[in-house]
Amino acid sequence: MHKDVESVLLSEKQLEKIVNLLAKKIEKDYNGKEFIMVGLLKGSVAFMADLMKKINLDFSIDFMVASSYGSGTESSGKVKVVSDLTQPVEGKDVLIVEDIVDSGNTLNFICNYLMTKGAKDVRVVTLCDKPARRKVPFKPDYVGTEIPDEFIVGYGLDYDEKYRNLPYIGILKRSVYE
Ligand code: IMP
Ligand code: MG
């Protein structure tokens, strides 16, 4: 285990199980639909790479970069599209892939943004959900697992751009950010 990690919250095995369950549900719901899977960079990178390989359907992928977090552990509440999609979403079904929903600010903004751009339907799959921290009402369509109010890292999730490469999800030691 990494020296900055307090304890492992989701092991590689547990992550694999969660991803498989989500993939099955999505495969069933999106069968016959033409959809774009949109990853929110950079946090979704590990999750999306694993998830997309398990969904046996035809779909395209794309990425967006949205910023709301600085280098701290609190959302600023203001969301900006830093890098947009490379293809039009008019009339398309969009499935957004996110690492974690916290305040809800990011996804609330991004879903509205894509609907304004004419998407037919926008749904969200998130690996983790911290419902206790919600500041704006937002309910993801597919949730891997609900987690307690702790700051987590690994499997794509960072603190100050570190720990994204850990193969598991761990609770970050408070001494790292306090
Ligand atoms: P929201 O807009 O507050 O819902 O924030 C969502 C984004 O904040 C996520 O996509 C993550 O990038 C980041 N985030 C929220 N909680 C954590 C955490 O516990 N660890 C790492 N990143 C987090
Ligand atoms: Mg993110």
Residue pLDDT tens, the chain, 178 long: 999 999 999 999 999 999 999 999 999 999 999 899 999 999 999 999 999 999 999 999 999 999 875 556 666 678 999 999 999 999 999 999 999 999 999 999 999 999 999 999 999 999 999 999 999 999 999 999 999 999 999 999 999 999 999 999 999 999 999 9
Sort strands 35-41 and 59-69 into parallel, antiparallel or unpaired. parallel
* pTM for the structure as a whole: 0.95
Structure tokens, 100: 């974690």
Rounded to the nearest 10 degrees, the angle between the axes of helix 12-30 and helix 45-54 is 60
Q: Is 108 in the pocket of ligand 1 (CB under 6 A)?
A: no
Q: Is 102 a catalytic residue?
A: yes
Angle CA(74)–CA(45)–CA(172) in degrees, nearest 5? 40
The reported pLDDT for the residue numbered 74 is 64
The reported pLDDT for the residue numbered 68 is 77
Give just the sign of the alpha carbon dihedral 161, 108, 129, 97: negative
Structure tokens, 37: 């899977």
Cα 176 to ligand 1 centre (Å): 17
DSSP lists the bridge partners of residue 142 as 125
From the candidates 102, 121, 141, 160, which is the catalytic residue? 102
Say how far residue 69 (Cα) sits from the centre of its chain. Answer: 14
User: Which residue intervals of the chain are DSSP H helices?
Assistant: 12-30, 45-54, 105-116, 174-177
For the chain, the residue count is 178
Write down all domains in the chain, each with its CATH number in brackets: 5-177 (3.40.50.2020)
Q: Is 129 in the pocket of ligand 1 (CB under 6 A)?
A: no
- Who's near 107: CB < 8 A, 6+ residues apart? 96, 98, 101, 124, 126, 138, 140
The reported pLDDT for the residue numbered 71 is 52
Amino acid at site 9: L
The reported pLDDT for the residue numbered 118 is 97
Structure tokens, 7: 């304890």
- Give the Cα separation of 59 and 36 in Å (integer): 6
